[in-house]
Amino acid sequence: MTLEVIAFTLAGLLAAGGAVAVLFVREAMRLMIGLGSFLLGVAGLFLYFGLPFLATAQVFVYVGGVLVLMVFAVMVVHRQADDRPVMEVRHDVGAAAVALAVTVTIVACLRSVVGDALPTPGVYSGVLADELLGPKLLVFEMAGALLLTGLVAVLTIREGEDR
């Protein structure tokens, strides 16, 4: 067994273990650690496949940004004297069905859009930059504008509710 295989196995175990923890652990902070482990595991898998840009972006955006905000939200939960807040899921089956449907949609889209045209590992970040800032610049900017619109919409809706 080579060291690369060991590294791959470790990253896979980290991702799979984290995913299982997210599914079955109910205590809020431990669940977040499970999610962090999953995200780091996925970053490890990206590294294994020679995609350092994606791996670093994964850590920067998801672990250092999104996860921190989620942990922050857990921190401000009101705690009784000695309890540990737990997540209560009332729609297990529905949530699983939505997750499955989203996964199938993403896989189907990626298969038809990307196909065999995946860039060569190693020169990936350069190819990605050329694609995003070249022919796909308009789509890239529109996606950014759409996200910004979504954020403004959420703020507006929240302000309306507060009033």
Residues of this chain that interact with another protein (CB under 8 A) are 3-4, 6-7, 29-30, 32-33, 36, 52-53, 56-57, 59-60, 63-65, 67-69, 71-72, 74-76, 79, 81-82, 84, 125
Maximal CA-CA distance, the chain:
63
Choice between 72 and 104, CB closer to another protein: 72
Beta bridge partners of 58: none
**Smallest gap from residue 101 Cβ to another protein (A):** 30
The structure tokens listed for 103 are 């996964």
- In contact, 18 and 37? CB cutoff 8 Å: yes
Choice between 15 and 63, CB closer to another protein: 63
Choice between 19 and 57, CB closer to another protein: 57
At 162, the amino acid letter reads D
Beta bridge partners of 27: 86
